[in-house]
Amino acid sequence: MQLPREVIVGHGAIERVAEVSRRLGFHRSALIIAGSKTYDIAAKRVKELLEEKEGMTVDTFLIETAMMKDVQAVETEIKSLKPQIVFGVGGGTKIDVAKCSSARQAIPFISVPTTASHDGIASPVSSIKDFEKPYSVMAEAPLAIIADTNIIMRAPWRFAVSGCEDVIAKFTAVRDWKLAHEEKGEYFGGYAASLALMSAKHVIQNVQLMKSENEEGLRILIEALISCGVSMSIAGSSRPCSGSEHLFGHALDVIRPNHSLHGERCGVGTIMMAYLLGQDWKRIRDALRNLGAPINAQELGVEKKEVLRALEMAATIRPERYTILNKLNLCKEGYEHLAKVTEVI
Ligand SMILES: [Zn+2]
């Protein structure tokens, strides 16, 4: 089990980056992975603080996508610069690449998220796209997470809503995990499952606080996302956080690449998979609606036939991951009925 050693969440948390780095024993050199936008938003400040307060040698490497070629480029950079520590500063892609490349080079990694759009900010799993097919790679949990709510607040609120949806998706993910345990004898960790589930309940209970400009709501969301990341560290896989709803989301991303946010796709998937799992899918749908999240194909900006294709493709995305989709093995008409009855199409 690998858990983060320091988690700092709050207004102005980024100002403590040098102090955290020193406490963890890194005071000589660092490599910052960021995007061109997140460089201005946060990475520049991280670099200044490390250089000025600790006198560290700090290099920066900018990336724009999370493909295998980006991971390899960062690995080359790590090999030549030999930094003590890698910082991933940005939203999903930058953190995914920093996490994956640092783990492959056995260098510790600190996560500095600039959005709260999914649970990758704290998880040991990297989502890397290759040949246009997204897949998850087990990497290492971040050694520290520094989440500055003042910076994250500046991102469009849609990103935070996506984060809420990614947390709510744990209702179906955990149920799928339990199903795999009951039917296939797969390892099931009750503690990891409870932790992921508790985060989902916490977000649903606080939906009213999840409004833009509300830093308290954002803090609750970030803590929930971090707890989800920790649940994956405890489980040793993404099982507590990713089930059939994520498979649907990944399939839709293959069909319409980069068209919607991760949480948005998974949120719509959660509504449908909750129905298949016999859960209170209407409650989940209503919570998503209250958040202002898309709840059907039209709001997601995709065509009905794309939703149906994604449903058919979902179980093939990750064949080793047993979910309700394998158990039911629905035909085309079955998926159409599912999408219609849940009012997704
Ligand atoms: Zn997710």
CA of 28 from ligand 1 middle (Å) equals 34
Reported as type and span, the H/E element at residue 247 is helix 244-255
Name the DSSP class of 117.
S
CA of 14 from ligand 1 middle (Å) equals 25
Q: In which band, very low, low, confident or very high, does the pLDDT at 258 lie, cut at 50, 70 and 90?
A: confident
CB 295 within 8 A of CB 271: yes
Q: What was the pLDDT predicted at 302?
A: 96
CA of 166 from ligand 1 middle (Å) equals 5
Q: What was the pLDDT predicted at 1?
A: 78
Residues 6+ apart with CB under 8 A from 303: 297
CA of 301 from ligand 1 middle (Å) equals 20
pTM above 0.75, yes or no: yes
Whole-number Å distance between alpha carbons of 114 and 29: 22
Mean pLDDT over all residues of the chain?
Answer: 95
Whole-number Å distance between alpha carbons of 145 and 112: 6
* pLDDT, tens digit, 9 for 90 and up, residues 104-143: 999 999 999 999 999 999 999 998 887 556 678 889 999 9
Look-up of token digits 């990891």: 192
CB 32 within 8 A of CB 46: yes
Q: What was the pLDDT predicted at 100?
A: 94
- Sheet of 109-113, strands arranged across: 6-10, 144-148, 109-113, 85-90, 29-34, 57-62
* pLDDT, tens digit, 9 for 90 and up, residues 262-300: 999 999 999 999 999 999 999 999 999 999 999 999 999
Q: Residue 187 has which token pair?
A: 């390892």
Residue of 229, 235, 140 whose CA lies nearest to 191: 235
Beta carbons within 10 angstroms of residue 307's beta carbon: 26
Whole-number Å distance between alpha carbons of 342 and 345: 8
* Cross-strand bridge partners of residue 59: 31
CB 70 within 8 A of CB 109: no
* pLDDT, tens digit, 9 for 90 and up, residues 72-106: 999 999 999 999 999 999 988 899 999 999 999 99
Q: What was the pLDDT predicted at 128?
A: 86
Could you give the 3-state DSSP secondary structure of residue 254? helix
Q: What was the pLDDT predicted at 194?
A: 98
* pLDDT, tens digit, 9 for 90 and up, residues 303-330: 999 999 999 999 998 888 999 999 999 9
CA of 124 from ligand 1 middle (Å) equals 12
Q: What was the pLDDT predicted at 65?
A: 87
CA of 240 from ligand 1 middle (Å) equals 10
Beta carbons within 10 angstroms of residue 158's beta carbon: 18
Whole-number Å distance between alpha carbons of 299 and 276: 22
Q: In which band, very low, low, confident or very high, does the pLDDT at 159 lie, cut at 50, 70 and 90?
A: very high
CA of 245 from ligand 1 middle (Å) equals 9
CA of 57 from ligand 1 middle (Å) equals 34
Could you give the 3-state DSSP secondary structure of residue 259? coil
Q: What was the pLDDT predicted at 319?
A: 87
Q: Residue 79 has which token pair?
A: 């090999």
* pLDDT, tens digit, 9 for 90 and up, residues 195-230: 999 999 999 999 999 887 789 999 999 999 999 999
